[in-house]
Amino acid sequence: MADSATPRTADRPRLAVAYSGGRDSTALLHAVAGQAKEASIEVLAFHIHHGLSTHADAWAAHSERQCAAWGVTLRTHRLSGGPAVGESIEAWAREARHAALAELCAEHGVDLLLLAHHRRDQAETLLLQALRGAGAAGLAAMPKMQWRDGICWARPWLDRPRESIEAYVAAHGLEYIEDDSNADPRFARNRLRLAVWPSLGEAFPQAEAALAQSANWAQQALALQQEMAAVDLAGRVDERGLALHELQLLSPARAANALRAWLHQATGQVAPASLVQRIQAGEGGSGSAWPCAGGLLRLYRGRLSWQPAAESPAPGPSQMVNLGLPGSYVQPGWAGTWEVAAVPSGGVSPIHLQDLTLRARQGGEQFQRARGSALRSLKKAYQEAGVPGWARSGPLLFSGAELVFVAGLGIDARMLAAPGEPQLSLRWLPVESRVPFTDP
Ligand SMILES: Nc1ncnc2c1ncn2[C@@H]1O[C@H](COP(=O)(O)OP(=O)(O)OP(=O)(O)O)[C@@H](O)[C@H]1O
Q: Kindly report the three-state secondary structure assignment for every residue of the chain.
A: CCCCCCCCCCCCCEEEEECCCCHHHHHHHHHHHHHHHHHCCEEEEEEEECCCCCCHHHHHHHHHHHHHHHCCEEEEEECCCCCCCCCCHHHHHHHHHHHHHHHHHHHCCCCEEECCCCHHHHHHHHHHHHHCCCCHHHHCCCCCEEEECCEEEECCCCCCCHHHHHHHHHHHCCCCCCCHHHHCCCCHHHHHHHHHHHHHHHHCCCHHHHHHHHHHHHHHHHHHHHHHHHHHHCCCEECCEEEHHHHCCCCHHHHHHHHHHHHHHHHCCCCCHHHHHHHHCCCCCCCCEEEECCEEEEEECCEEEEEEHHHCCCCCCCEEECCCCCEEEEECCCCEEEEEEECCCCCECHHHHCCEEEECCCCCCEECCCCCCCCEEHHHHHHHHCCCHHHCCCCEEEECCEEEEECCCEECHHHECCCCCCCEEEEEEECCCCCCCCCC
How sure is the predictor about 4, in pLDDT bands with cuts at 50, 70 and 90? low
How far, in Å, CA of 103 to CA of 2, rounded?
Answer: 9
Is the sign of the CA dihedral 157, 162, 168, 174 positive or negative?
A: positive
| pLDDT for residue 432 | 45
CB of 121 closer than 6 angstroms to any ligand 1 atom: yes
Is 34 in contact with 40 (CB distance < 8 Å)? no
Is there a binding annotation on residue 25?
yes
For residues 200 and 440, the model is more confident at 200
Q: How confident is the model at residue 282 (pLDDT cuts 50, 70, 90)?
A: confident
The reply to whether 130 and 41 lie within a common domain is yes
The verdict on 106 and 207 lying in the same domain is yes
Closest CA to 196 of 137, 134, 120, 144: 120
Average pLDDT (417-426) is 92
Query: Cα separation of 314 and 333, whole Å?
Result: 9
Decide if pLDDT at 7 tops 90: no
Q: Look at ligand 1, atom 6, and give the residue with the nearest C-alpha.
A: 20
| 22 annotated among ligand-binding-site residues | yes
Does the pLDDT at position 285 exceed 60?
yes
| More confident of the two residues 59 and 393 | 59
162 in any annotated domain: yes
- Pair 350, 422: CB distance under 8 Å: yes
Ligand 1 centroid to Cα of residue 39, in Å, is 25
**Is residue 221 a part of any domain in this protein?**
no
Q: Is residue 98 part of a domain?
A: yes
Q: Is-contact 44 16, C-beta < 8 A?
A: yes
pLDDT at 313: 54
Q: Is residue 229 part of a domain?
A: no
Q: Are residues 329 and 387 in the same domain?
A: yes
Q: What percent of the chain has pLDDT over 90?
A: 64
17: CA distance to ligand 1 center in Å?
10
**Arithmetic mean of pLDDT over the chain:** 89
Is the minimum distance from the CB of 425 to ligand 1 under 6 angstroms?
Answer: no
Q: Please report the ipTM that was assigned to this predicted complex.
A: 0.96
pLDDT band at 433 (very low <50, low <70, confident <90, very high): very low
Would you place residue 337 in the very low, low, confident or very high pLDDT band (cuts 50, 70, 90)?
confident
* CATH of residue 167: 3.40.50.620
- Kindly state whether residue 219 falls inside one of the protein's structural domains: no
Q: Is 22 in the pocket of ligand 1 (CB under 6 A)?
A: yes
Position 436 pLDDT exceeds 50 = no
The pLDDT of residue 391 is: 72
Domain boundary, last residue among 267, 293, 311: 311
Q: Are 132 and 26 in the same domain?
A: yes
Mean pLDDT value across residues 387-391: 71
Spacing, Cα 7 to ligand 1 middle (Å): 26
Range of the domain at 280: 235-311
- State the distance from the centre of ligand 1 to the C-alpha of 20, rounded, in angstroms: 5
pLDDT higher than 80, residue 437: no
- In this prediction, residues 320-327 reach a mean pLDDT of 94
- Provide mean pLDDT across the span 363-370: 90
Q: Which of 414, 406, 396, 398 is nearest to 353 (CA)?
A: 398
Mean pLDDT score, 357-369: 90
Q: Give a yes or no: residue 435 inside a domain.
A: no
Tens of pLDDT, residue by residue over 39-63, are: 889 999 999 999 888 999 999 999 9
Last residue of a domain, one of 311, 338, 353: 311
Residue 418, in any domain of the structure = yes
Distance, CA of 246 to chain centre: 26
- 306 and 338 assigned to the same domain: no
The model's confidence at residue 255, banded by pLDDT at 50, 70 and 90, is very high
Could you tell me if 63 and 149 lie in one domain?
A: yes
**102/158 same-domain check:** yes
Q: Comparing 241-250, 277-286, 402-411, which segment has the lowest mean pLDDT?
A: 277-286
- Residue 203 and residue 70 share a domain: yes
Whether the pLDDT of residue 25 is over 50: the answer is yes
Same domain, 93 and 118: yes
Specify whether 203 is located in the same domain as 247.
no
Are residues 78 and 157 both part of a single domain? yes
Pick the last residue of a domain from 279, 311, 343.
311
The answer to whether residue 272 sits within a structural domain is yes
18 lines ligand 1 (CB under 6 A): yes
Would residue 133 be called left, alpha or beta, if left means φ above 0 and alpha means ψ between -120 and 50 degrees? Answer: left
Please state the separation of Cα 394 from the chain's center in Å: 28
Q: Are 300 and 334 found together in one domain?
A: no
* End-to-end Cα spacing for the chain: 49
311 pLDDT above the threshold of 60: no
- The domain tally of the chain equals 3
Per-residue pLDDT of 136-179, as tens digits, reads 999 999 999 999 989 999 999 999 999 999 999 999 999 999 99
Q: Whose CA is nearest to atom 7 of ligand 1?
A: 20
